[in-house]
Structure 1
Amino acid sequence: MSLPTFTATTTAEEVLQAFADQVKDKNVLITGTSLNGIGFETARAIAKYANLVIITGYNAERLKLSEEAIKKSVPSANIRPLILDLCSLASVRKAAAEVNAYPEPLHVLIHNAAHGGGPFQLTPDGFESQLSTAHIGPFLLTKLLAPKLLSSSSSSKYTPRVVTISSIGHAHGTGVDLDFLAHPTAEKYTNQSGYFQAKSACILFAAEVGRRSGGRVIGFSLHPGAIYTNLMQKPENQIFMKSIESLLLNRTFCSKGALKEDGTPNDTQFPFKNMAQGAATTVVAAFDPRIQDQPGSYLVDCVVANDQVAPHSSDPEMAKKLWDATEELLGEKFTF
């Protein structure tokens, strides 16, 4: 059976139709699934085909709205809501304990949640909030759920996957500042630097997962595209989105502003996608069998695009240092 070629306009539903057989018995956990976000659309699309979709959020009321909306769209969906605040290590541990008590194995862990470029803010554990949401919290969650992921491999001969949502914006910065990771200060922070570091960490972590696990769990990272989500619509994030320069695929810079001054998409400079298109690359990273032998890859527009990763985010030595530094911050080792 020949598989289709995907493009920037491919939708999550089209990807899932192609891989329905691969998805039908899988259990998937997706973080950050609020309405009007690509995490929600990813969960909604996968729920039509998967055995179980675990959706997460830190706000119980909003999480309930997402659950109801998915079930309304897909009446047959097996949805399980999970309270999870990635800015709280205690919340991460509690959520992981709950998942580990589930009878089902876990096949795919999708780290979709993001903070979105807001002002400097420390978490209750003393970490910078963007890096906590995009890297430190997901690192701990993956560590705690690793046995659950590995059990899916032993029971179904499937190689479990960890998917992180990065951004083409990772290439703007200079990579992760390990000193800032450990000792965040407002003086060393800008909305842009926090965002760029967080997205760089996503790529480095996804690549290192496969190396550390000896290929028993494989990771992929991706740029979903520019999508006008709930994250872009938050007032605290719009300041950043109005100022960020557009780094296009050919790495040339355009005029400033992913958003116009009125807060609407600047689609004359950015190639915006709709929600269904924005979720497609995540689904490819989670299920496409053609990328199985390319662990650690970075995807753009539903295809592997490792040539678009900045050197500071493709360096295996930097990935190792970030992993070791995160272990030190958490005070515990992460071994598969």
Structure 2
Amino acid sequence: MSGIVPTFSFTTTADEVATAFAAEIEGKNVLITGTSLNGIGFETARVIAKYANLVIITGYNAERLERSVDAINKEVPNANVYPLTLDLSSLAGVRKAADVVNASPEPLHVLIHNAAAAIGPFGLTVDKLENQFATDHVGPFLLTKLLAPKLLAAATSEYTPRVVFVASAAHALGPGVDFELLAHPDPQTYKSSTAYFQAKSANILAAIELSKRSKGAINAYSLHPGIIATNIARKEEAVADLQALGILGPDGLPDHEKFQWKTLPQGAATTVAAAFDPRLNDKPGSYLEDSSVANNSVAAHSSDPVNAEKLWSVTEKIIGESFIF
């Protein structure tokens, strides 16, 4: 990166970050999960597509994926955007999508785990896992494992591939990961907001452990995007929980008195920084807020290397295979 080193803030937009790191994005192949319109994953894909060689966008609804592709291509006619159907709540669905990516000749420079399940009632996936944890952690873990050879193929003497986990500052509101409940979900003790907090804790721990285990071959980061009025905040099943947290008011609209909200462009900025800021090269495993390193903001239970190692081992047992470099 040449020129003046940019300084980012709460109000920095994804476009501004992408413009600052256009040289780093150029020629890169990027996969982003959860890219429906009116979401930060879509905004991330939109700004990256202006410079990248290839942007693979994923979602479980093929029709919505096509709408996202059309919207990006309308703004960036020369963008190379590939839609990939991916159901993160299904281990078989993850394997199917990974097969498609692995069948292509291109390496993968950046993998961005943006997709998340809506906060809502207890539900089990086809694999008998709690839905939020399956979608937010177990599916992304398996996808990373299956695409690791693609990521490693992108490495050069000057470039280290990256994996980015979109977590949340809300991880600190929970007790950390309950390892017993991961493999044995219990509807009697389930609380939707707590399940969300735990899933976001897992994202942070996964970034720490992935960076450690890869021994410098892959750099992983996690982040808090900010509080944003995305599609998830509009889902009917999530409203009551978000109101209980004070994020939404009694009318179901954003509470601007208690919290400072970000726009979608501001909300996607930190993801773009985590994926491309070269100043992070020597800070693997870091957690970001407002497009800058904020490791001091991570709760103790979500920065504990013992918890990170345990989460890795438990997740390997759940998916039935080892993740070894």
Instruction: Give TM-score scaled by structure 1 length.
Output: 0.95
State the partner residue of 1:173: 174
Give the Cα–Cα distance (whole angstroms) in 1 for the partners of residues 6 and 60 of structure 2. Answer: 37
SS in 2 for 1:164: strand
The answer to whether 1:241 aligns with 2:230 is: no
8 Å CA contact 1:180, 1:188 repeated in 2: no
Q: Percent identity?
A: 62
Q: Which one of the candidate residues 287, 291, 296 is aligned to 2:276?
A: 287
Structure 1 unaligned spans of 5+: 245-256
- 5 Å matches for 1:134-153? 134-153=136-155
How many pairs align? Answer: 323
AA of the residue aligned to 2:30? V
- 5 Å matches for 1:43-122? 43-122=45-124
Deviations along 1:46-90, one digit per CA (max 9) or x if unpaired, are: 101111000000011111111111111211110000000000111
AA of the residue aligned to 1:285? A
Give the Cα–Cα distance (whole angstroms) in 2 for the partners of residues 223 and 84 of structure 1. Answer: 23
AA of the residue aligned to 1:130? Q
The answer to whether 1:21 aligns with 2:10 is: no
SS in 2 for 1:159: coil
The answer to whether 1:264 aligns with 2:226 is: no
| Alpha-carbon distance, 1:119 to partner | 1.0
State the partner residue of 2:288: 299
The answer to whether 1:226 aligns with 2:256 is: no
AA of the residue aligned to 1:153? A
| Alpha-carbon distance, 1:264 to partner | 1.1
8 Å CA contact 1:108, 1:161 repeated in 2: yes
Give the Cα–Cα distance (whole angstroms) in 1 for the partners of residues 37 and 241 of structure 2. Answer: 22
Deviations along 1:114-138, one digit per CA (max 9) or x if unpaired, are: 0131111100001111111111000
Give the Cα–Cα distance (whole angstroms) in 2 for the partners of residues 268 and 306 of structure 1. Answer: 27
Give the Cα–Cα distance (whole angstroms) in 1 for the partners of residues 252 and 244 of structure 2. Answer: 11
Give the Cα–Cα distance (whole angstroms) in 1 for the partners of residues 90 and 183 of structure 2. Answer: 16
Q: Which one of the candidate residues 134, 146, 154 is aligned to 1:132?
A: 134
8 Å CA contact 1:107, 1:152 repeated in 2: yes
AA of the residue aligned to 2:21? F
AA of the residue aligned to 1:297? S
Structure 2 unaligned spans of 5+: none
State the partner residue of 1:32: 34
AA of the residue aligned to 2:267? G
Instruction: Give TM-score scaled by structure 2 length.
Output: 0.98
State the partner residue of 2:192: 191
AA of the residue aligned to 2:223? L
Give the Cα–Cα distance (whole angstroms) in 1 for the partners of residues 10 and 78 of structure 2. Answer: 29
| Alpha-carbon distance, 1:2 to partner | 2.0
SS in 1 for 2:247: coil
Give the Cα–Cα distance (whole angstroms) in 2 for the partners of residues 115 and 87 of structure 1. Answer: 9
Give the Cα–Cα distance (whole angstroms) in 2 for the partners of residues 238 and 66 of structure 1. Answer: 25
Give the Cα–Cα distance (whole angstroms) in 1 for the partners of residues 68 and 59 of structure 2. Answer: 9
State the partner residue of 1:6: 8
Give the Cα–Cα distance (whole angstroms) in 1 for the partners of residues 74 and 196 of structure 2. Answer: 34
Runs of 4+ more than 6 Å apart? none
State the partner residue of 1:331: 320
Deviations along 1:86-119, one digit per CA (max 9) or x if unpaired, are: 0011110000000001111100000000013111
Deviations along 1:223-243, one digit per CA (max 9) or x if unpaired, are: 000000111000011111111
Give the Cα–Cα distance (whole angstroms) in 1 for the partners of residues 98 and 158 of structure 2. Answer: 23
